[in-house]
Amino acid sequence: MPTPSVLNTPPTDRILHRGLLLALALSGLIVPVVAFAVEDQPCEAYRTLTRSPMVNSSPDDWLAVLGACHNDAAFLAGLGDLLNQHGRYQEASEHLERALMLSPGLKGAQLSYVVALAGIGDNQAAEALLDSLLADPTMPANLRRALEKQRALQHTPVLQTRWTLNARWGYDGNLLSAPNLTGLTLTGLPGGDIRWDTEGTLLPHAGQYYRTDAQFELRRLEPNGARWDLTASLRNRHSPVEPLAGANQFDVALERSKPPAGPTNGSGLASWGHYINMAGSALTARSGTQFASLSLTAGVTLAWHQGWAAACRTRVGVDLQARYYDNSRLLSGRYTGLTGSLSCEPPQGAQWLLGLKAGRDVADNPERSGGDQNQFSLRAAGFLPLSALTSLQNSSLAPLGKGAITADFEASYYQDSTGFSPFLESGRTRSMERYSLRLEYQYPIARHSAVVAGLEATRQKSNIDLFQVQSSGPYMTFRASW
């Protein structure tokens, strides 16, 4: 059954706290990275970076020399501030923690650490650090006034918006997801089985396509740490060689969550929060399919505080969906299931995700072919900035090091509860396995735009030939966000 597709977007930023960042910047508390108080002699690579006129443009060059400067407090403080400026707060907090371990007196690092804590949503720890700085008798009066003002701003809701536009050209080896059959055997007929010549209607049609996506995100961060996220997107796909391959899709989702306390604020193995998500989707295809869905998902979020898992969060919840096929009401159903995920953001910007879903789609009409259906899926996704690979930075491929690689794999299994049709495989109960893979290389051409080269492949296997599908193809995308 068609379900809303996932936009190929850059990884979502951590919770932003623009009020804090702006107030500290305007107060002179967040200074350029070259102006941090230096108590240790900087490494040679740090000297080279601070002499560069583009020192504040991107943290990639800094991360490339991290191995040589990982014990230099001033370098780590500068890197943390630069990561803050790019919204990479989780990474920033880790480097700033190390900077303060090496040199606790770095005022700039302390202030940047406040920004990083607020950025990852740990407002309680950020406020505790603000209180600590205010209690410092050596804090200059002008900075103290700015900190007191910011302390009050911590109790003001913060809004953030983001737009993302994608323009894609691609080639698909099977634009209509045809099963690649020249004929179909019909069973259960009074005169015996017959072979139906499909006259090419079930053969794949390959060709180019164009796709445009627009997405709007609105986030509200409450003073108590709760957050609201609204996402709306519109997608259009069309093919100049196969008109029926065109489709329009609209998605909207609203989530309210209370993230768990961060590792710096938790005790024991983990802390927990909760979330509730409401979403809707509508798809209209030129082939005649009209699909809509409404969903409600709710559950708990766990933040782990021990070992490598300290960079990870787990979600476990219940997923309820109503699925409507306007062009064929007989296919509509109600889905109930469990969902779980483990997402991690280890140092240097890498991200990965493991997700599991299991549930049952109950037919609205008991006459639906196949009846109720059990559904299971496993997803594994990862994002790797090539700047994290020091071996690449020192090779002839170093120019590619400013880019990033994304990989997304999903395996799904579907099992009907009754025979699909007496005319197909003598009423066999249908089962399907579906595998999809997406690989991307993203290269930034400006701070808010990138070009993407990718490859998509899908394979669906079934014990009924009509539902066997295979397609693959490359694509190029221009992406802009602001």
Q: pLDDT by residue (tens digit) across 11-36?
A: 333 333 434 443 443 344 444 343 34
| pTM, rounded to two decimals | 0.76
Cα distances (angstroms) measured from residue 45 to each of 50, 72, 75, 276: 9, 11, 9, 47
CATH number of 18-156: 1.25.40.10
Per-residue confidence at 72, pLDDT binned at 50, 70, 90?
A: confident
E strands in 259-401: 270-285, 290-304, 312-325, 333-344, 351-363, 373-385
Q: Tell me the domain boundaries of the chain.
A: 18-156, 163-481
Q: Could you tell me how far CA 376 lies from the centroid of its own chain? A: 21
Report strand pairing: 158-172 vs 469-481: antiparallel
Which whole number is the average pLDDT over 305-319? 88
Cα distances (angstroms) measured from residue 173 to each of 73, 208, 476: 53, 9, 15
Q: What is the pLDDT of residue 65?
A: 75
- Report the interhelical angle of 89-102 vs 107-119 (nearest 10°): 150
Yes or no: domain 163-481 corresponds to CATH 2.40.160? yes
Q: What is the pLDDT of residue 324?
A: 95
Q: Do domains 18-156 and 163-481 have the same CATH topology?
A: no
CB atoms within 10 A of CB 137: 5
The percent of the chain in helix, strand and coil, each rounded to the nearest 5, is 25, 45, 30
112-142 pLDDT, tens digit each:
888 788 777 677 777 788 888 888 887 767 6
Give me the count of residues in the chain: 482
